[in-house]
Amino acid sequence: MKFGLIIFMTLVAECVIGQRIATFVKKESCSDQAAYKGYWLAVSYKEKDSVMKPLYDVAMIELSDKEKLRLIDQLLSFAKDKDLSCKKVTTHVYGSEGCRGFPDTVKRYPITIEALFIINRLCWPKSMEAYSCSPVLYDTLEKRVINNDPKAISCFVKEYKKWYKGCKKLGRVPKEFPFNTGRYVWFGGRKYVKPEDNPDLFN
């Protein structure tokens, strides 16, 4: 009986810890003050016994791997969304090695790319700008930006879904950045670098 009680209490504790922070993703129309007419992905979170709060940067709160996986699952639900984001393409620098920029001709990106970009910020916050410092995707074979090519974007999305499936099987988010190795990559993004090979990138 005592052994059974210990198991029960352990399961309850795991459930409570797993629900420490609940996250939500909602596609919303932008205000008239936005750069363009379009939409954006509004991420919000709710800690236990607290009110819902907006989360403008997913790296600003500490989430467990289980919580990250739940949020990734929500973000991937927008994988086929072709609507354009109201945000203009810009570089995002977080203090590591700097950004390689993007072509001046690229002005916009779809909600699908915004979702993938948020996933990168969630999973690799300290080194994101080395891998994807702007919401721009690139075809290394045809040497062109693919922000307005839904078919090419969907091929890249498949890589994220395959990676997510592996994460669920592991029960965690690996430190390695698995993208930028095939035909479709983040513009200017490098391949994964081990922390010991470039410590400054992860500080």
Q: What is the mean pLDDT of residues 10-33?
A: 70
Asked whether residue 179 is domain-assigned, the answer is yes
Output 197 or 116, whichever has higher pLDDT.
Answer: 116
Give the range of the structural domain holding residue 74, as residue numbers without chain letter. 23-202
What pLDDT is recorded for position 8? Answer: 31
Asked whether residue 125 is domain-assigned, the answer is yes
Residues 131-167 pLDDT 10s = 998 999 999 999 999 999 999 999 999 999 999 999 9
In whole angstroms, give the CA distance from residue 29 to residue 24: 16
Asked whether residue 3 is domain-assigned, the answer is no
Asked whether residue 169 is domain-assigned, the answer is yes
Asked whether residue 5 is domain-assigned, the answer is no
Overall number of domains in the chain: 1
What pLDDT is recorded for position 48? Answer: 81
What pLDDT is recorded for position 7? Answer: 34
Instruction: Indicate if the pLDDT at residue 12 is higher than 70.
Output: no
Instruction: Indicate if the pLDDT at residue 121 is higher than 50.
Output: yes
Instruction: Indicate if the pLDDT at residue 65 is higher than 90.
Output: yes
Asked whether residue 138 is domain-assigned, the answer is yes
Asked whether residue 11 is domain-assigned, the answer is no
Asked whether residue 14 is domain-assigned, the answer is no
Q: What is the mean pLDDT of residues 113-135?
A: 92
